[in-house]
């Protein structure tokens, strides 16, 4: 199934709702499904349709009025599925208010990060590593003993929210910062970690996109770059500098596409901010959080080839999956990015691995698939998702700060292995 679908799954082209310059026939209007026959796949690829998912013999696309016309002209029967994709229940507002309930907006995050620093000045320092296109701060939390001193210790980097609509990916790294700050004195393991190394957390790489996703269009993915053709947005996870733009499958040269790679590698201030931080410190491991699919991915993403440290990346990834599953039984798959999910070029972890040779993971948080909520995580589930990820975050952090640098992370004896990679629905986002 996967191979058969591959050609269309990698043709990314979606029209950003809310971008006023678009002709009305190019606005998404319905989610429709067609039978997953080879002829239909060819037709969808020719139309550059925005494929949402392919499962159970059907391909779902986000169709524009133009797409609906094309399907009719070509005599391809389709079913309207829009109602199926509405969130299962209304997203509740909460005491913290706003359309995003307990999830953080840019301002709410800023307030909470400042409060965290004020409450734990001996372990937390809030830094600004850059500003977004619209001038919002990109914040990094440094957690270490004497965080104001740059001691050149080994570090680990946790990143969140390259993709605007993946709100849970802000919360998980933020909760890690809070956990570490609150346990740095009381818990000997955390105290040891903080004494030996540095944990850096950038919970919101894409603040402009997040705000747009909260205020205007919930499914917004990219940043808010005003492109020359009148469309908006660069996919920040296609804008990094390793094999940037290597082909038009893993990213797109079209500004309209959801995976538009930008005009050059690191053309965006948000990816430059991450680059500068990463190159300025001695990071020995990286995790970039995304959602959804409960999957742990490691390089390469740009091509279906292993890195020269494939076995080690797999081993550490499987250990993280095992630690996660041990918390409450929720299984995360683990695999090499290009083969376990799909091709991407210019993604974060390909670049961090290429730049520093350190274990670099994309963690796709829950839910497992679109039927379980896609980008909508219930507010009540935020803490549980963080809790199940915490042991893996701590274990990777400890490995990183104890690792011997360029030679890589030392193997541990008696490692437990998680379940092998299971097939997930192909998702196309
Ligand atoms: O497409 C992406 O950027 C990531 N998935 S998401 O659904 N959150 O957009 C995956 C990036 C991991 N790299 C590869 N699969 N090659
Ligand atoms: Zn993502």
Residue 363: the pLDDT is 98
Do 63 and 154 lie in a common domain?
Answer: no
Query: In angstroms, rounded to a whole number, what is the distance separating the alpha carbons of residues 161 and 112?
Result: 17
Do 164 and 302 lie in a common domain?
Answer: yes
In a domain, 1, yes or no: no
Do 71 and 212 lie in a common domain?
Answer: no
What number does the ligand 1 atom closest to the CA of 235 have?
Answer: 3
In a domain, 18, yes or no: yes
Residues, CB within 5 angstroms of ligand 2 (ion): 163, 166, 290
Residue 317: the pLDDT is 98
Give the CATH number for residue 40: 3.30.70
Do 72 and 113 lie in a common domain?
Answer: no
In a domain, 99, yes or no: no
Ligand 1: residues whose CB is within 6 Å? 163, 166, 237, 290, 297, 301, 337-338, 341-344, 347, 362, 364, 429
Do 65 and 122 lie in a common domain?
Answer: no
- Ligand at shortest distance from the CA of 346: 1
Do 72 and 114 lie in a common domain?
Answer: no
Ligand 1 centroid to 410 CA: how many Å? 27
Do 161 and 53 lie in a common domain?
Answer: no
Structure tokens, 163: 């993709």
In a domain, 93, yes or no: no
In a domain, 202, yes or no: yes
Is this model's pTM higher than 0.85 or not? Answer: no
Task: Write out the residue range of the structural domain in which residue 70 sits.
Answer: 6-84
Do 339 and 418 lie in a common domain?
Answer: yes
- Ligand at shortest distance from the CA of 160: 2
Give the CATH number for residue 179: 3.40.630.10
Asked if residue 205 lies in contact with residue 274, where contact means CB atoms within 8 angstroms, the answer is yes
Asked if residue 381 lies in contact with residue 292, where contact means CB atoms within 8 angstroms, the answer is no
Do 59 and 170 lie in a common domain?
Answer: no
The predicted-structure confidence for 231-258, as pLDDT tens digits, reads as follows 999 999 999 999 999 999 999 999 999 9
Least confident of 14-23, 170-179, 240-249, 302-311: 14-23
What number does the ligand 1 atom closest to the CA of 293 have?
Answer: 7
Task: Give how many domains the chain has, as a whole number.
Answer: 2
The predicted-structure confidence for 97-151, as pLDDT tens digits, reads as follows 568 999 999 999 999 999 999 999 999 999 999 999 999 999 999 999 999 999 8
In a domain, 97, yes or no: no
Do 57 and 170 lie in a common domain?
Answer: no
Ligand 1 centroid to 345 CA: how many Å? 10
Q: Which residues pair with 298 in a beta bridge?
A: 336
Which runs of E-coded beta strand occur in 36-166? 50-55, 58-64, 79-80, 124-131, 137-143, 154-160
Do 37 and 76 lie in a common domain?
Answer: yes
């Amino acid at each position: 199934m996967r191979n058969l679908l591959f050609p269309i799954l990698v043709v990314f082209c979606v029209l950003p709702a809310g971008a006023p310059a678009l002709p009305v026939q190019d606005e998404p209007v319905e989610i429709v499904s067609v039978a997953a026959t080879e002829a239909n796949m060819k037709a969808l690829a020719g139309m550059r349709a925005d494929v949402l998912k392919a499962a159970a013999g059907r391909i779902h696309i986000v169709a524009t009025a133009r797409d609906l016309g094309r399907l009719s002209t070509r005599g391809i029967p389709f079913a309207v599925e829009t109602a199926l994709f509405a969130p299962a229940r209304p997203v509740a507002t909460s005491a913290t208010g706003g359309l995003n309930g307990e999830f953080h907006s840019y301002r709410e995050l800023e307030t909470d990060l400042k409060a965290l620093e004020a409450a734990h000045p001996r372990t937390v320092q809030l830094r600004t590593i850059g500003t977004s296109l619209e001038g919002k701060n990109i914040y990094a939390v440094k957690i270490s003993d004497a965080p104001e001193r740059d001691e050149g210790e080994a570090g680990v980097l946790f990143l969140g929210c390259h993709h605007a609509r993946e709100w849970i990916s802000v919360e998980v790294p933020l909760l890690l910062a809070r956990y570490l700050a609150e346990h740095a004195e009381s818990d000997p393991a955390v105290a040891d970690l903080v004494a030996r190394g540095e944990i850096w957390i950038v919970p919101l790489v894409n603040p402009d996109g997040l705000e747009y996703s909260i205020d205007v269009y919930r499914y917004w993915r990219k940043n808010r770059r005003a492109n020359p053709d009148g469309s908006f947005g660069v996919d920040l996870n296609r804008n990094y500098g390793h094999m940037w733009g290597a082909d038009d499958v893993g990213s797109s040269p079209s500004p309209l596409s959801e995976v538009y790679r930008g005009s050059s590698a690191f053309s965006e201030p948000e990816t430059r901010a991450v680059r500068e931080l990463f190159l300025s410190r001695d990071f020995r491991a990286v995790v970039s959080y995304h959602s959804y699919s409960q999957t742990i991915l490691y390089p390469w993403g740009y091509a279906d080839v292993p890195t020269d440290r494939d076995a080690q990346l797999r081993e550490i990834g499987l250990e993280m999956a095992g630690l996660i599953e041990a918390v409450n039984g929720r299984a995360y798959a683990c695999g090499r990015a290009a083969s376990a999910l799909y091709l991407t070029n210019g993604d974060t972890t390909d670049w961090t691995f290429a730049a520093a040779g350190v274990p670099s993971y994309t963690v796709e948080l829950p839910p497992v698939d679109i039927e379980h909520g896609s980008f909508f995580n219930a507010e009540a589930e935020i803490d549980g998702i963080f809790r199940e990820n915490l042991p893996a975050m701590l274990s990777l952090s400890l490995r990183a700060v104890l690792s011997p640098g360029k030679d890589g992370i030392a193997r541990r004896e008696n490692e437990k292995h998680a379940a092998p990679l299971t097939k997930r629905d192909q998702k196309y986002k």
